[in-house]
């Protein structure tokens, strides 16, 4: 088998969500709302303009980016960071399941002890600073 310097090789496929993460990171560096062409130009590679618009539209549907009308197209701005995007994905998975308790139980039982402590601390902090609990029915 001969190496032809990459000619004919299939490009590496991105992992799920990798392109979304790259687009979101680029938008976070933008000094102002930008057009899809700006994003396309900075991503490099041979991504089609329509692919970039599709990714931006998906991020908008997830609440990770905002858009404003600019002529016949849009200008895009990041409103979430990578952690926020991951949280949105986690929420979407949870919302798609009928048995939320089973999903959350499964998730919590697979956490490392350190992650479990962190989650407990975050829940306690949220409870102490969040809105008051509704009165118990009795």
Instruction: Output the pTM of the full model.
Output: 0.62
Q: Please report where in the chains the tokens 């798609």 appear, as a residue.
A: 96
Alpha carbon distances (Å) from 46 to 28, 40, 43, 50: 22, 9, 9, 12
The percentage of residues in the chain with a pLDDT greater than 70, rounded to a whole number, is 82
- Per-residue pLDDT at 2 exceeds 50: no
Can you count the helices (H) and strands (E) in the chain?
6, 2
Q: Which residues contact 67 (CB under 8 A, 6 or more apart)?
A: 33, 56, 60, 74, 75, 76, 77
pLDDT tens column, 43-102: 987 889 999 999 999 999 988 999 999 999 999 999 988 888 888 888 888 899 999 999
């Amino acid at each position: 088998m001969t190496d032809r310097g990459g000619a004919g090789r299939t490009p590496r496929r991105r992992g799920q969500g990798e392109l979304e993460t790259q687009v979101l990171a680029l938008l976070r560096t933008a000094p102002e709302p930008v057009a899809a062409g700006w994003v396309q130009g900075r991503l490099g590679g041979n991504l089609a303009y329509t692919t970039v618009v599709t990714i931006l539209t998906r991020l908008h549907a997830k609440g990770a980016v905002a858009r404003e009308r600019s002529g016949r197209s849009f200008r895009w701005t990041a409103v979430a960071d990578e952690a926020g995007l991951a949280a949105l994905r986690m929420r979407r998975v949870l919302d798609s399941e009928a048995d939320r308790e089973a999903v959350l139980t499964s998730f919590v039982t697979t956490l490392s002890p350190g992650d479990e402590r962190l989650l407990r601390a975050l829940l306690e902090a949220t409870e102490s600073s969040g809105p008051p609990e509704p009165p118990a029915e009795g």
